[in-house]
Amino acid sequence: MREGWAEDTLGSTCEIYQPKTISAKEMNPDGDYPVFGANGIIGRYDQFNHENPQLLVTCRGATCGAVNVSLPKSWITGNAMVVRPRSLGLSVRFLEYFFRGACDFSKVITGAAQPQITRQTLAPVKISFPPLPEQQRIVAILDEAFARLATATANAEKNLKNARELFDSYLNSIFENDEGLRKVTLGDVCSISSRLVDPRKPEFLDLPHLGAGNMASRTGELSDIKTAREEGLKSGKFLFDSTMVLYSKIRPYLMKACRPDFDGLCSADVYPLSPDSDQLSRDFLFHLLMSKNFTDFAISGSDRAGMPKVNRDHLFKYRVNLPNIEEQALLANKLDEISNEANRLVAFYERRLIDLADLKQSVLRKAFSDELTSPPSQAIKEAAE
C-alpha cells in the first residue's frame, strides 16, 4: 500500500443506496429543485431529498457504470445509486475521480441481457485514498488537467467538423450549379449491364467480393476484402470491372460507393453502375453519388422502413445538371484533391480525439497510483496542450 494512503472497501467507507423513486407524473416542471436520475437532470420537483452534492452511479442498462454528481438541494430518484462517503475524511470529488478512472466496473456489473450494479457487488470494491489535504491536491490537479483536455477535445471536434464541411460545401456547390448545363436523368447516361453469376463456379471462386460492409461511408475506401472462396459465397453475385462505380442501395443515408481498380464480384445489394464514357465520367459519377442532393433523392425513394433500399427505377430517375465530359474530368480531379485533404484532416482529428481520451485515462491512472509527484501538474499541462 502507498505510504500514507488508507485502504478499505467502498462498503466500509461509503453509504451505498438507491433513494425513493418518483414518477414523471409526480414531478412538477415548475418545481424549485432539480430531479436527478442516473445520467443527469430528468425533471423538477417541489422537494429535495439531498442537500449536498452526491456521487451517482448508473446501476442498470446500457450506460451501467456511468458516473455523475448531483447539484446541491436536489431530489435523487431511485434509478441512480448514491455512493456517499461516511466521513469528511473522504472527498466526494476524489471519489468521483476514483469511479471515473480506478474502479473496474467489469468486476461489479452483473447480468448480460440487463446489466446492473447492486449494493452487494459494489460494497467489496477496494479503494485507496490519501489524507484529505492530499485528496484535495490531487482533485485540483485533475480539475486543471481535465479542463485543458476538455478545451483540446472541443477544438479537435470543431476542426473535425470543419474538415468535413469544407469538402461537403464544395461538392454540393458543383452539383447545384445548373448554369448552361444539360439536364439529364441518370438513366440517360448510366446503366447496369452486369449479370448475376454463381460464385461457387471455379472461374469466380477466387475473385474478390465487395459488399456494403467493405465500403467506408463517404470516402469510397475499401477494407477487409475477401474472395468468394474465403467467404463461402453461395447466392448469386454481380460481376464488376474497373470501369464501374459500385453503389450500395442499402441505407442510402450511409453514402457508400466505391471505384474499384480491379475486377470482382459484388453483393446483389450493390448496384454496379456503368457510365456511358462519352457522356459521363466515372469519377464524376462517384462524386455525384456522394452529394447531398443525390443522397436526399435516394432517401426519398427508399422502400422498407426497417432496411431502407433504393430501387433501380428510382435511382435512374435522378436528374443531374451535366457539364461536358472534359469539364467533368477537371471537376472530378479537383474534388479528389479536396477530398484527399479533407480525409487526411478527418483522420488526423479522429486520431487526436482518441489520443485525448487515452491521455485522460492515463492521467487518472497516475493519480491513483500516486505518480503525480512534485511539481505534480507540469507533465500533465504539457501533455494536454
DSSP string, 140-161: HHHHHHHHHHHHHHHHHHHHHH
Per-residue pLDDT at 383 = 46
For residues 129-135, give the mean pLDDT: 91
pLDDT of residue 63: 80
251 with 344, same domain: the answer is no
Helical segments of the chain, H only: 10-13, 92-101, 119-122, 132-176, 186-189, 228-231, 282-289, 292-300, 312-316, 325-368, 378-384
User: pLDDT (tens digit, 9 = 90+) per residue, 280-331?
Assistant: 999 999 999 999 999 999 998 876 666 788 989 999 999 998 999 999 999 9
- pLDDT tens column, 15-29: 999 998 888 899 999
pLDDT digits (tens, 9 = 90+) for 85-102: 999 899 999 999 988 877
User: Structurally, how many domains does the chain consist of?
Assistant: 3
Q: Give the domain CATH number at 267.
A: 3.90.220.20
The pLDDT of residue 174 is above 90: no
Contact 42, 74 (CB under 8 A): no
Task: Let me know if residue 350 belongs to a domain.
Answer: yes
* Strands of the 196-197 sheet, one edge to the other: 196-197, 237-240, 264-266, 208-210, 226-227
Q: Which domain holds residue 215?
A: 182-322
Give yes or no: residues 207 and 285 share one domain: yes
Average pLDDT of the residues in 64-80? 89
pTM for the model: 0.69
Burial class from Cβ neighbours inside 10 Å (0-12, 13-18, 19+) for residue 361 reads exposed
286 and 356 together in one domain: no
Mean per-residue pLDDT, 195-200 = 93
CATH label of the domain that carries residue 168: 1.10.287
In a domain, 93, yes or no: yes
Q: Chain-centre distance of CA 137, in angstroms?
A: 34
Residue 253 confidence (pLDDT)? 92
228 & 259 share domain: yes
Please check whether residues 158 and 118 belong to one and the same domain. no
Measure the CA–CA gap between 134 and 153, rounded to whole angstroms.
28
Q: How confident is the model at residue 384 (pLDDT cuts 50, 70, 90)?
A: very low
User: DSSP states of 212-260 as a string?
Assistant: GGGBPTTT--B-S-EEHHHHT--S-EEEE-TT-EEEE-BSGGG--EE--
Q: What percent of the chain has pLDDT over 70?
A: 94
Compute how many other C-beta atoms are within 10 angstroms of the C-beta atom of residue 68.
Answer: 19
Strand partners, 302: 310
Q: Whole-number mean pLDDT of the chain?
A: 88
Please give the Cα distance from 38 to 320 (Å, whole number): 50
Residue 371: pLDDT band with limits 50, 70, 90: low
In tens, the pLDDT along 239-275 reads 999 999 999 999 999 999 999 999 999 999 999 999 9
Task: Name the residue among 111, 133, 132 with its Cα closest to residue 121.
Answer: 111
Last residue of a domain, one of 304, 322, 340: 322
- Check whether 375 has a pLDDT greater than 80: no
Do 190 and 316 share a domain, yes or no?
Answer: yes
Q: Specify if 75 maps to a domain.
A: yes
**Same domain, yes or no, for 12 and 94?**
yes
pLDDT for 140-158, tens place per residue?
888 888 888 888 889 889 9
Q: Taking 80 as the threshold, does the pLDDT of residue 62 lie above it? A: no
Residue 376 pLDDT grade (very low, low, confident, very high; cuts 50, 70, 90): very low
- Cβ atoms of 267 and 233 within 8 Å: the answer is no
Q: Is 95 helix (H, G, I), strand (E, B) or coil?
A: helix
* Domain-located, residue 1: no
Q: Which three cell numbers stand for residue 175?
A: 452539383
